[in-house]
Structure 1
Amino acid sequence: MSSVPEQRILLVHAHPDDETIQNGATMARYVAMGRGVTLVTCTAGEMGEILVPELEHLAAHKDDQLGEHRRDELADAMKELGVTDHRFLGGFGAYRDSGMQWHADGYAIPADDTHTNAFWNADLREAADHLVEVIREVRPQVLVTYDEFGNYGHPDHIQAHRVATYAAALAAVPSYKRELGEVWDIAKIYWCAMSETRFRMMLRRLREDGDTETFEGMDPDGDFGPWVTADADISARVDGTALLDTKLAALARHRSQVEEDGVFFRGAENGQSMFGEEFYRLAKGQQGPVDDHGWETDLFAGL
């Protein structure tokens, strides 16, 4: 019987590829360190935009098989990162990608029509109970998910935040549904963040290189609203630059969702990619030792 790692982290994400974009380097780093890494994905991303022409037949309005395809993409990406414990909330197909549309002010909002099984329509208590069972089984000291805005407003990101927050609270109540496992209180909860300073630097470089399409309409000196986090509000930075190749290899496995020459891969060959650094806001727990920026360099700091 294999031993359980002493330190364990649980990540809760909405769709396949979200985990790699936001936390791929963090996940790979902790796997390499022998820490337990568990990923829970809430939907299979059935409504995702397909960026590969030969896969367009998988779309929801055609064959509606994108979810099955993205399940395989996720499995391949996790092999690249070394993550062996990855699950779908409630089991594969329990909740469907809700889709989204863009608000005139540039953030995501729910689509006008959603599937009856859409995650956005999920019963919060039912969805949280699925996660409570995982929390009590895995017993993580650290949980990572989105902020209350879902980083950019996507309804499934917001719902993942709600489910993770509620489940973490319920899992810590000794008398709550003992049949779901032994009580467990997660010591530290983090929300994924994008450093405002780093985002402005990246956007400025893109504009200087003549790219006006990526993050279209955004000005490097403009107001980004809740898309970014002021550096003063960031609690932790995981330096994954040494694992950038691993992160990008995993991201490339999400082939239906990323362009081979897209923004994520630009500058990787000369160390200029912005995606080797991953930032976090501490939502629960005490901040551990910090660097000169006032940021933790390890999400388990202080534990």
Structure 2
Amino acid sequence: MSELPDRRLLLVHAHPDDETINNGATMARYVDEGAHVTLVTCTLGEEGEVLVPELAELAADRTDQLGKHRVGELAAAMDELGVTDYRFLGGEGKYRDTGMIYNDQGNAAAPPETRPDSFWRADLVAAANDLVPIIRELRPQVLVTYDEYGNYGHPDHVQAHRVATYAAALAAAPSYRQDLGEAWDIAKIYWMAMSEDSFRDSLRRLREAGDTTTFEGMDPEGEYPMITPDRLIDCVIDGEAYVDRKMNAMKAHATQITVDGPFFALSNNNGNQIWASEHYRLVKGTAAPGPDGKENDLFAGI
């Protein structure tokens, strides 16, 4: 194991594209700094929408080939970010994208009917056992995943949070499944976060610029379950030097992200600033903040 770099980062995500949207700049930064960056994606994103008309046949309700196509999109995105170690939980296609609906409160939720092979219905211990050997093999000091709400309620995000959390605990227990490798206790665990201040400021700028149609109906002062008060954010990664690579990686996920659509509008109106900074909540380990009260390095204090 001595050949492993001094710093090792593991990210656990639900679908291809989640990693780039949430952590693209962070991943590119640490790759450039010589850290070992590993991405584990839990599903192929088979139930996603297809935003490219000529690829509409790939959709789950047609030829159901979207997952296979998104494997290629993920590879292209990782190439943009410089990440060479990316894997699928349990192997490519073991866990199926669950899909989602919007409930009566307007939040993402699990559909009323789900397939037996959907990630949402996976046995928690079995899924965790697919991640434990990766943790023990790579011995990451830092793990990044979603909060308990999956950041916005998608069932696969919630399940990824549960699997990552449980696997981290199991991997640290010397008596647990010794056949899966030598125990490893991850020093710092972070939940990715969306900064409330940045989110509201960006919406205000859109409205002040006279744009009332982008993110229509979203009030800058409204209530949004996916945002995190900045007082709860422990680490802010400044990815300004990597934002172009992040944007190119987002474009690689072409079936999911339209570069001239509302998803990119905040970027277009705010000079990419919102996409350059990535925010994290420390939920295990000791924070090592700088003068401004925030960490600027996920490995701070290690």
Q: Same fold (TM over 0.5)?
A: yes
TM-score, with structure 1 as normaliser? 0.96
Residue aligned with 2:78, SS: helix
Given the superposition, is the C-alpha separation of residues 2 and 212 from structure 1 closer, same or farther in structure 2, using an over 3 Å criterion? farther
TM-score, with structure 2 as normaliser? 0.96
Which moves more between the two structures, 215-224 or 182-191? Answer: 215-224
| Within-5 A mapping of 1:1-303 | 3-224=3-224, 226-266=225-265, 267=267, 271-292=271-292, 294-303=293-302
The separation in 1 between residues aligned to 2:262 and 2:296, in whole angstroms, is: 25
The separation in 1 between residues aligned to 2:257 and 2:213, in whole angstroms, is: 15
The separation in 1 between residues aligned to 2:213 and 2:95, in whole angstroms, is: 32
CA drift of 1:264 comes to 4.8
The answer to whether the 8 Å contact 1:265/1:273 transfers is no
Which moves more between the two structures, 96-105 or 24-33? Answer: 96-105
The separation in 2 between residues aligned to 1:88 and 1:213, in whole angstroms, is: 37
One-letter identity of the residue aligned with 1:46? E
Which moves more between the two structures, 31-40 or 263-272? Answer: 263-272
Structure 1 unmatched ranges of 5 or more: none
CA drift of 1:221 comes to 1.0
CA drift of 1:207 comes to 2.8
The separation in 2 between residues aligned to 1:10 and 1:213, in whole angstroms, is: 38
Structure 2 unmatched ranges of 5 or more: none
Residue identity (%): 63
The separation in 2 between residues aligned to 1:68 and 1:117, in whole angstroms, is: 16
The separation in 2 between residues aligned to 1:88 and 1:237, in whole angstroms, is: 27
Query: Number of aligned pairs?
Result: 301
Residue aligned with 1:163, SS: helix
The separation in 1 between residues aligned to 2:245 and 2:263, in whole angstroms, is: 13
Which moves more between the two structures, 131-140 or 102-111? Answer: 102-111
Give CA-to-partner distance per residue, 1:51-92, whole Å, 9 cap, x none: 111111100000000000000000010000000000000000
CA drift of 1:263 comes to 4.0
The separation in 2 between residues aligned to 1:105 and 1:270, in whole angstroms, is: 30
Given the superposition, is the C-alpha separation of residues 142 and 161 from structure 1 closer, same or farther in structure 2, using an over 3 Å criterion? same
Given the superposition, is the C-alpha separation of residues 108 and 14 from structure 1 closer, same or farther in structure 2, using an over 3 Å criterion? same
CA drift of 1:270 comes to 7.1
CA drift of 1:3 comes to 3.1
The answer to whether the 8 Å contact 2:243/2:272 transfers is no
Which moves more between the two structures, 72-81 or 96-105? Answer: 96-105
Residue aligned with 2:275, SS: coil
Give CA-to-partner distance per residue, 1:120-178, whole Å, 9 cap, x none: 00000000000001000010000000000001100000000000000000000000000
The separation in 1 between residues aligned to 2:216 and 2:159, in whole angstroms, is: 26
